Chains A and B, each alone.
Chain A
Amino acid sequence: MKKLLTAEEMLQALYKCNQCGACASVCPLYRHTTDESMCARGKLALIDAVFSGRLLPGKKYAERLHTCLLCRACSDNCAGGIPTTEIFLFARQMLAESGISPRSGRILLNRFITGPGRFSNLIRAINLYGLLREQRLFKNTGLWRLLPEYRRFSAMRLFSARIGRPLPVAGGLETPGSRGTVAYFTGCALAGFFPDVVRATGRVLSHNGWKAVSLNNGCCGMPHLAYGYVEAARRLARKNIDLFIDQEVIITDCATCGSALKSYASLLAGDSAYAGKAAAFSAKVRDISEFLMETGFLRPRSAPFKKQTPVTYHDPCHLARSQGIRQQPRTVLKAVPGVVLKELEGPETCCGGSGLFALKHPDLSIKVGSDKINTILSTGANIVTSGCPGCIMQIEAALQMENRGNIRVAHPVELLAASYDAGRETSNKLKTD
């Protein structure tokens, strides 16, 4: 999230759209549907129609507004520099405040993810789900192949959790270290679905001398923002800000959490009590790859693989476009001996995951995901990496759909951690083909 717009700013920005239509050339959803209401121009036209009174906001309007990856390809490519994504979010906020929002979002976000206590329960619930034997059976026997295509895809998304031991302290991590202390922000998706990634982050931090602490944090608020529940997001933000007030650095290994946390400054800019604290908070947030580059990290000398392995990297929208973090994860990957980094064609093109989008619109999600898989296959890589659990789940599921489950999907820290481990001669070697 870049900057929350005021109504005045939004109307001015809306007016700037001269409807050239260039956004259609970069919108993944438009490319797959040729539905004008998918591209930014169409969405802005709908929003303009509502705000000028020509259209009453109803279910159809809400549906179109919410069928969007929020990937920012449009705003990045807009000649007029229009903050399209911010305008969409503003419109979603208006919808949420008038009660016209997708019901699933309302229930999930206003009832279940409201504070740290409920949040850690959510993570536990995801962990337990991951451990369900039924889930493992379903996946391993291949029964899922009997489902119709879209259902299969949704199933694969949910089953892409890597079953690992749940993390101890409120889902977070704690490591010893003498170089300094960093606070780790626990995100639901990694701690819930991929606890081993969190452990990898922990090993990387500790190997580089950092003492990591976990505080019992609440949800970063991104889903709330995406659904337009800005006040709920602000409540979560204040709680998180107060919790981390004494910390100097806040580390996250989730692109989405990082993007949300960095947007707290803008989210609370109008709050006289919290504006300063929010700005200070956001300034302390670092993605793990960003942190490693800024503070320097030990270059590993052992390869985690038996031979040279082609590895590719997918830029999460929330890391590349939202935070401008592109080089850092690549540098981390290139530092791992044995990694031959291959660039994807269109590495920043959205994978189609987009948080809850894949569950709500599996048909569109699968099409966008399939394009990403084609670019991955073209590189001949054995491992795809990405710094966002949403992307990891999406790519894994999409690979399974095309029977390419042999290609591993990992977070860049996992390769670095495995490399450190190999150096320490532990048995954590990653398997490759």
Chain B
Amino acid sequence: MITAGSQRALSRELKKILAPRQVLDSMEDRVVYAYDATTLQFLPDVVVKAESTRDVSAVLKMAGSLQIPVVPRGAGTGLSGGSVPNAGGIALVLTSMRSIMEIDLGNMVAVCQPGVITGDLKKAAERRGLFYPPDPSSFNYSTIGGNIAENAGGPQGIKYGVTKDYVMGLEVVLAGGEVVRLGGKQVKNVTGYNLVQLFVGSEGTLGVITEAILRLIPHPPARKTASAAFSLLEQAAQTVTAILNSGIVPSTLELMDQKSINYVEDYLGLGLSRNVQAMLLIEVDGTEEAVAAEMNKIARICREMKAESFKTAADQSEAEQLRRARQAVSPAISRIRPTKIGEDICVPRDAIPAMVREIQKIGERYGLPIVIFGHAGDGNLHPNILTDKRDREEMSRVNRAIQDLFEAAVRLGGTLSGEHGIGLTKKPYLDMDLSPAAISLMGSIKRTLDPLGILNPNKIFGGASD
């Protein structure tokens, strides 16, 4: 952080290139842009609400000349500290740039600004019979720009892929203020390097996204939802593999363990069975005929795998109930203890049963309640540790548990983060997953694109976190 005198000077300089309403320098303003959903908090020196690409470019040019960090930010709902200004500087808020500029029906493409809320884009597409599939659980309040910067996932990832699979083009402002347009509305493009994908998931460290061209697909005509209950968590995990190996690609294949089922029941009372050890939420979509056939096959598989029960939702409202149950896990468990630490490991699909066993062992080893749920279909599990960060002794066990979780994931051929990003929270563990050569290569790219190191510094790389 810079001195108070320098803060005032910075604020004055910024008001020369932006409207005064866009430069927020009071303590009251800075406090509310200091955090994200990890509850990590660091005050920025000043907050800028960008209203255009020109604003972003001008701010970066100025920041470069003053060597002040710039931390781009959407709704600030990330789960890894990516938008938290831990080195002070300018919190560059993009939520005012929230126009859906175009839904191009002919090309099935959406063009929008980074501050558009993902849920709003989904609704806009659906109104026109189209579909933007990526559905991170925060989609009603997180922004497209943030989703792109973190390569956000979601339950429908198993069939439809994640955010990166839908980004066809970007307008990016680089560290020196240059505005670059990459990609476009074309379906195929091998002209020059594939830099669009470099910026997706770069967590605001390589450039600031000011416009996105996103692929849309036709909205599937039909969808069926079902739930299967199991008396052993391991059975459920094996059923996931069995379904995937049968040739069906469900559009959702989510796992909930007994703890998550019970917490959801406490929270919403939907009538879920409390005694089962695990539940799978399964959805298939497509044409009516395909959907019916696939669901029958899945029902048979679940029975063969000794599911305790298998229920297909009879109508829209029953389907909604089941989806609600899964969506409610995170909210339900956030009521239990003051601090919820959710991890995001992703292992190859055939390692899901083994990973589930590891998580259970780790919970027992450290005497910590760990709730297991997540996108079992793509091997992306969310072990959530319910703890209290005020309890130092417990937190030291939590940190060791997290270390063990990452070790187990990597040992099984997996990775630290499937969708939340590295940000601040997973910095210390990066070398468990990436080789020195990989880290070095990424570092050289970072230095090329941001020689002064002003774009979201101290994120992803650097080892032990602040």
11 contacting pairs across A/B (C-beta < 8 A): A18-B334, A20-B37, A21-B37, A21-B141, A25-B140, A36-B33, A37-B28, A46-B28, A46-B32, A49-B27, A79-B330
- Residues of chain B with a CB closer than 8 A to A36's CB: 32-33, 76
A73 within 8 A of B: no
Interface of B is mostly: loop
Contact digits for B311-339, partner A, Cβ 8 Å, 1 yes 0 no: 00000000000000000101110110011
- Which stretch of A53-61, A359-367, A400-408 is in the interface? A53-61
Choice from A25, A37, A54, A60 contacting B117 with Cβ under 8 Å: A25
**Do the beta carbons of A22 and B332 come within 8 Å of each other?**
no
**Do the beta carbons of B335 and A45 come within 8 Å of each other?**
no
A179 within 8 A of B: no
Query: Given the complex of chains A and B, what is the CA–CA distance between A80 and B332 in angstroms?
Result: 7
Choice from A20, A25, A60 contacting B26 with Cβ under 8 Å: A60
State whether A22 and B138 are in contact (beta carbons under 8 Å apart), knowing that A34-B95, A55-B27 are contacts in the complex.
yes
Closest Cβ neighbor of B94 among chain A residues: A34
Choice from A34, A49, A64 contacting B115 with Cβ under 8 Å: A34
Interface residues on A, range: 20 to 34
Query: Given the complex of chains A and B, what is the CA–CA distance between A46 and B41 in angstroms?
Result: 12
In the complex, which of the residues A15, A19, A60 has the most CB atoms of chain B within 10 Å of its own CB atom?
A19
Query: Given the complex of chains A and B, what is the CA–CA distance between A34 and B34 in angstroms?
Result: 15
State whether A19 and B141 are in contact (beta carbons under 8 Å apart), knowing that A25-B119, A80-B334 are contacts in the complex.
no
Query: Given the complex of chains A and B, what is the CA–CA distance between A79 and B29 in angstroms?
Result: 25
Query: Given the complex of chains A and B, what is the CA–CA distance between A146 and B14 in angstroms?
Result: 37
Interface residues on B, range: 35 or more
B380 within 8 A of A: no
- Residues of chain A with a CB closer than 8 A to B115's CB: 34
Query: Given the complex of chains A and B, what is the CA–CA distance between A16 and B335 in angstroms?
Result: 8
**Do the beta carbons of A19 and B331 come within 8 Å of each other?**
no
- Residues of chain A with a CB closer than 8 A to B119's CB: 25
- Residues of chain A with a CB closer than 8 A to B98's CB: 34
- Residues of chain B with a CB closer than 8 A to A180's CB: none
**Do the beta carbons of B75 and A37 come within 8 Å of each other?**
no
B:441-458 near A, CB below 8 Å: none
How many inter-chain residue pairs (CB < 8 Å) link A and B?
A: 78
In the complex, which of the residues B31, B34, B49 has the most CB atoms of chain A within 10 Å of its own CB atom?
B31
**Do the beta carbons of A20 and B28 come within 8 Å of each other?**
no
Contact digits for A8-39, partner B, Cβ 8 Å, 1 yes 0 no: 00000001101111101100000000101100
State the Cβ distance, B178 to closest chain A Cβ, in Å: 26
- Residues of chain B with a CB closer than 8 A to A42's CB: 32
6 more A-B residue pairs beyond the given contacts A19-B36, A20-B138, with a C-beta to C-beta distance below 8 A: A20-B77, A24-B77, A37-B32, A45-B35, A49-B31, A60-B28
B440 within 8 A of A: no
- Residues of chain B with a CB closer than 8 A to A55's CB: 27-28, 31
**Do the beta carbons of A24 and B75 come within 8 Å of each other?**
yes
Query: Given the complex of chains A and B, what is the CA–CA distance between A36 and B77 in angstroms?
Result: 12
Contact digits for A34-78, partner B, Cβ 8 Å, 1 yes 0 no: 101100001001100100001100001100100000000000000
**Do the beta carbons of A45 and B39 come within 8 Å of each other?**
no
B:173-194 near A, CB below 8 Å: none
Closest Cβ neighbor of B97 among chain A residues: A34
- Residues of chain B with a CB closer than 8 A to A24's CB: 75, 77, 141
A117 within 8 A of B: no
B231 within 8 A of A: no
Contact digits for B411-449, partner A, Cβ 8 Å, 1 yes 0 no: 000000000000000000000000000000000000000
State whether A18 and B340 are in contact (beta carbons under 8 Å apart), knowing that A34-B95, A36-B32, A36-B76 are contacts in the complex.
yes
**Do the beta carbons of B31 and A54 come within 8 Å of each other?**
yes
**Do the beta carbons of B117 and A15 come within 8 Å of each other?**
no
- Residues of chain A with a CB closer than 8 A to B334's CB: 18, 20, 79-80
B309 within 8 A of A: no
**Do the beta carbons of A79 and B37 come within 8 Å of each other?**
no
A81 within 8 A of B: yes
State the Cβ distance, B161 to closest chain A Cβ, in Å: 24
